[in-house]
Structure 1
Amino acid sequence: MSAAMAHLVFIPAAGVSHLAPAVEVARLLLELDDRLSVTFLVVNPPSPHASSKANPFADLLTSFSSSGATSPSRLRFRELPWIDVPLSGPGFNLAEFHKPQVRSAVAELTRAAGAPTLAGFVVDMFCTQLIDVADEFGVPSYVLYTSSASFLGFSFHLQALQDDEGRDLSDLTADGDAELEIPYLVNSLPAKVFPTSIIDRGHRAPFLGHVKNFRRAKGILVNSFEELESHAMGALREDDTIPPVYPIGPILNLQKGGMRSSKSSEILSWLDDQPRSSVVFLCFGSNGSFHEDQVKEMARGIEKSGHRFLWSLRRPQPMLRIGSYPEEYDNPAEVLPEGFLERTAERGKVIGWAPQVEVLAHAAVGGFVTHCGWNSTLEGLWFGVPTAAWPLYAEQQFNAFGMVVEHGLAVEVKMDYRKSFGPGAAGTEMVVGAEVVERAVRELMDISHGGGHRKRVEKVREMSRKAVEEGGSSNSALGRFVGDVFGNIP
């Protein structure tokens, strides 16, 4: 059955890297078909302070809802009430606590006078418990997968090994020599680059529980594009136990300016004074930070490289928490080698927060040292900036392997580096030496000025842009998804 008008309920995970792509997907859907409308049910993340009940993403939501990119009547945001949930343990089960709220909110939406037909839920990859609520309403669910197609396939493979073949995954440890052959990668995958969600027993069960739930969905929207991950996409299509996968990326929030435009202006003005492709940009995502001993080694390596640099440096958090981000230093000199800022004043700039999209788009930037978060990886490719891989946590080690080994689109800093969190973490983390940082920066900036590596990056840049154009692979996949949404309405 299909309907004249259809309504999708989006439920993103409580994190900027999940919320922003979800809003971009909704925008694209509304622009593609004027029969659709979307309501976001926004989960407030847990707070370490019971009295702090303000959504830390409020400014982001305001900028989206006031952008005017789509009709306000067809795109709405509804924040779910704040609830006190446990802060300890894996964050993969947060959605479980919000089932009653989602159930109530959707019931209210469907009772509204003149409400369009409820066509289904679009749930984040870490909100799959809410498929149960969609089932209660008798509508299909779709998963929005904010990482790569190859990581999706890898996750399916491990879930099948454990649940269908009875494989004990506890031997897959970060310090082991094991390698795994999987159909979604051309090369065998070393266990040292497995995500924490797999090598940590406490995280493994809830993570693979989500993956098992993916199989219940009517389809999976993945933030990637066919031309980048053709091998993984081919393997996903060959497995008839996996729902249809729609590669609709790169899904990027490329809006400029906003609440931090004054900071952006200062940074971009400095870049305006630098030669073309001369600056290496070091930035490690929303939660990216390093302890003091590592910061000093990074500084020495950057200085020895002799290259111009823009470095986003922030104070490490005691714990990694949803909605909580590293703070800026009042005085970065306190953690940098003595005299570093003075010696590099004419060729470098140390900042706190960085307007990453605007920096990567700037002609002066010739290289990007990144944590390999999937959004940042796609942004680097979109702007054709060669990258150096320095992963920190989550699936970033896997992404680094893909960029360096599978695709040959990045150089390695330390592919198996893992960020530690919590009291005393500084004494347990590996420290990447200055000579490794210097080598990576030199290699990265040499590539920036020519060679086969640079040509591959430029080629992928062009493919990424063609994919989202009308008639491109991702645009066509989005169209197929819309057709299936209307075709799947009960």
Structure 2
Amino acid sequence: MSSHQHQQDPNHVQKQPNGPKIKDVSGSVVVIMVPLPAQGHLNPLLELAHLIASYGVPVHYVGSASHNHQAKLRFHVPPSSTPGNIRFHDFPTPPFLSPAPSPNSPHKFPSHLQPVLETTSSLRSPVADLVRSLSSGSRRVVVVNDSLMASVVQDAASVPNAEIYIFYAVSAFALCWYVWESRGMAPPPEVEVDVAELISSKGFPSLLDSFTDEFLKFVASEDEFEKFSSGSIYNTCRVVEGRYVDLFASAATNGTMTKHWAIGPFNPVKVPEKRSRRSAHLCLEWLDKQAPSSVIYVSFGTTTVLSDEQIREIAMGLERSGQKFIWVLREADKADIFSGGGEARKIELPQGFEEMVETRDLGVVMRDWAPQLEILGHPATGGFLSHCGWNSCMESISMGVPILAWPMHSDQPWNAVLITRVLKIGLTVKDWMSQEDVVKSSTIEGTVKALMASEAGEEMRKRAAELGAAVRGSTDEGGVSRAELDSFIAHISR
């Protein structure tokens, strides 16, 4: 039996919160969600919107028409199970450049998305109008904004019956290091010994290496508006990083932000056994035929651009590892994923590679959007070669799947340290401080084999399965994440 074949176990059915102990506050309390317009930020706030709406609380989700469409199109919950009390507001934004991401960029940070980030200030006025409009017919208006949209919601602070809560789209572990480094603070003594060793060896990621100057200025410009917030919400679970939630809470307290809720995982922790037509993907049919824990899932998220040379090395490494795989090979998102213009890059694989993969039944190469949560929740999936974006980490953790960590930029290097050094449910593919631009096929082959075909890898899979079971349990009635969600609903409906 697979180490995470619990997905077929009826004892592990997720109990969706229906607010059994919370009064129905529909009509008296409303929530407004204000996400940053990038996939890794759009999706978790839409997931949170569904959790809150299941308690009978109306939710208003705001953004540009194209980004709202993107959020709905890629959402993994079928429309049939969607609460009817979520309303989308399409607000106009100024035109922005939407260049194709470049594989030849000198840094991996998705700076091609910066133009759309600069347009978000135009949402301030319509969001303020919406808050005031809803405030006249509601007892309380609750604004939940991405931490990078704090300036957009600032006017809600002047509405007497409105409250603002910040959502952090990254791990609490990454938030701690951001605060400590930006303030020149040393981490407290209780931080894990092996992380301290990593710091002393100068192998620890730095803000300057992970972000562009332009983006760091954008972050700093939003920080000053966090003073209007009454609390913080995290897509994490205290089972996973409760210590770091508390450490960040103590480091970030500004005198007003005294409430902290670790509500994650936001994603469903039970993959439906009966697949919808939309998710009845060929790769899932292929997975059905594979042995338990025998397949490694390879995906680098929506903002990673790989060079042709790196793609060739990955292809050779996967082939030589002898392990079955599903590889999502698609271009990174543009700022507007629906915009045309320019010739789309054709991602080339070594000649004959896809034919060889199909002939030997070695795996599946996917060039479109993948049903990631269902792939990770499938009993045949035994590992995840990942960029370590936080949504991917939480989905993998909640499904009990260990990770081969290959961070690219942003918070990903810190998440990789959390996965490999703190939780010990993954291995490092590429040393963050290595100056080598291309990871060689021999390294990829070796780490894939180490995770998928060794005793040490099997032990790691067991640890991941145990952590996944604990995280899933936390969302059940009486579990810590469920209690945090109940606490948040009780607080806003007080």
TM range (shorter): 0.7 to 0.9
C-alpha distance 379-325 of structure 1, shift in aligned 2 (>3 A): farther
Asked if the contact 1:466–1:472 (Cα under 8 Å) also holds between the matched residues in 2, the reply is yes
CA–CA distance in 1 between the matches of 2:209 and 2:486?
A: 33
Query: Does residue 135 of structure 2 align to residue 116 of structure 1?
Result: no
Asked if the contact 2:128–2:153 (Cα under 8 Å) also holds between the matched residues in 1, the reply is no
Deviation per CA, 1:371-400, whole angstroms, max 9, x where unpaired? 111111111111111210112222111111
Asked if the contact 1:282–1:309 (Cα under 8 Å) also holds between the matched residues in 2, the reply is yes
CA–CA distance in 1 between the matches of 2:228 and 2:336?
A: 26
C-alpha distance 259-448 of structure 1, shift in aligned 2 (>3 A): farther
TM-superposed CA distance for 1:295, in Å, is: 0.7
CA–CA distance in 2 between the matches of 1:194 and 1:231?
A: 21
TM-superposed CA distance for 1:449, in Å, is: 8.6
1:350 to 362, 365, 379: 365
**Alignment of structure 1 residues 115-154 onto 2, 5 Å:** 115-138=137-160, 139-154=162-177
C-alpha distance 60-151 of structure 1, shift in aligned 2 (>3 A): same
Deviation per CA, 1:214-235, whole angstroms, max 9, x where unpaired? 3431110000011111221232
Deviation per CA, 1:342-379, whole angstroms, max 9, x where unpaired? 43331222121221111112222111101111111111
Counterpart in 2 of 1:480?
487
For the residue of structure 2 that corresponds to 1:310, the secondary structure is strand
RMSD: 3.4
CA–CA distance in 2 between the matches of 1:314 and 1:191?
A: 30
Range moving further from structure 2, 361-370 or 184-193:
184-193
TM-score of the two chains, using structure 2 as the length reference: 0.78
Counterpart in 1 of 2:53?
30
Query: Does residue 416 of structure 2 align to residue 400 of structure 1?
Result: yes
**Alignment of structure 1 residues 315-354 onto 2, 5 Å:** 315=331, 321=335, 323=337, 335-344=348-357, 345-346=359-360, 347-353=362-368, 354=370
CA–CA distance in 1 between the matches of 2:118 and 2:182?
A: 17
Counterpart in 2 of 1:96?
121
CA–CA distance in 2 between the matches of 1:238 and 1:391?
A: 28
C-alpha distance 444-151 of structure 1, shift in aligned 2 (>3 A): same
Range moving further from structure 2, 86-95 or 215-224:
86-95
CA–CA distance in 2 between the matches of 1:373 and 1:356?
A: 13
Q: Quick one: which amino acid aligns to residue 146 of structure 2? A: D
Asked if the contact 2:128–2:155 (Cα under 8 Å) also holds between the matched residues in 1, the reply is yes
TM-superposed CA distance for 1:192, in Å, is: 5.3
Asked if the contact 1:280–1:308 (Cα under 8 Å) also holds between the matched residues in 2, the reply is yes
Q: Quick one: which amino acid aligns to residue 219 of structure 1? A: G
C-alpha distance 385-435 of structure 1, shift in aligned 2 (>3 A): same
For the residue of structure 1 that corresponds to 2:238, the secondary structure is coil
Q: Quick one: which amino acid aligns to residue 216 of structure 2? A: R
Query: Does residue 434 of structure 2 align to residue 457 of structure 1?
Result: no
Counterpart in 1 of 2:242?
230
Range moving further from structure 2, 435-444 or 83-92:
83-92
**Alignment of structure 1 residues 285-300 onto 2, 5 Å:** 285-300=301-316
C-alpha distance 38-206 of structure 1, shift in aligned 2 (>3 A): same
TM-superposed CA distance for 1:443, in Å, is: 0.8
CA–CA distance in 2 between the matches of 1:5 and 1:305?
A: 58
Q: Which runs of 5+ in 1 are unaligned?
A: 47-53, 166-179, 419-427
CA–CA distance in 1 between the matches of 2:416 and 2:338?
A: 24
Q: Quick one: which amino acid aligns to residue 30 of structure 2? A: H
2:444 to 437, 440, 452: 437
CA–CA distance in 2 between the matches of 1:469 and 1:136?
A: 37
CA–CA distance in 2 between the matches of 1:253 and 1:323?
A: 25
C-alpha distance 68-7 of structure 1, shift in aligned 2 (>3 A): same
CA–CA distance in 2 between the matches of 1:442 and 1:69?
A: 40
2:475 to 468, 471, 475: 468
Q: Quick one: which amino acid aligns to residue 148 of structure 1? A: S
Deviation per CA, 1:453-480, whole angstroms, max 9, x where unpaired? 2221111101111111111111111222
CA–CA distance in 2 between the matches of 1:207 and 1:25?
A: 23
Percent identical residues: 25
CA–CA distance in 2 between the matches of 1:196 and 1:92?
A: 20
C-alpha distance 75-337 of structure 1, shift in aligned 2 (>3 A): closer
2:92 to 81, 99, 111: 81
CA–CA distance in 1 between the matches of 2:455 and 2:375?
A: 16
TM-score of the two chains, using structure 1 as the length reference: 0.79
For the residue of structure 2 that corresponds to 1:123, the secondary structure is strand
Query: Does residue 265 of structure 2 align to residue 250 of structure 1?
Result: yes
1:59 to 73, 83, 95: 73
C-alpha distance 371-417 of structure 1, shift in aligned 2 (>3 A): farther
TM-superposed CA distance for 1:110, in Å, is: 3.7
Asked if the contact 1:248–1:478 (Cα under 8 Å) also holds between the matched residues in 2, the reply is yes
Higher RCO, 1 or 2 (CA under 8 Å, sep at least 6)?
2
**Alignment of structure 1 residues 407-418 onto 2, 5 Å:** 407-416=423-432
CA–CA distance in 2 between the matches of 1:296 and 1:217?
A: 47
**Alignment of structure 1 residues 34-53 onto 2, 5 Å:** 34=56, 36-44=57-65
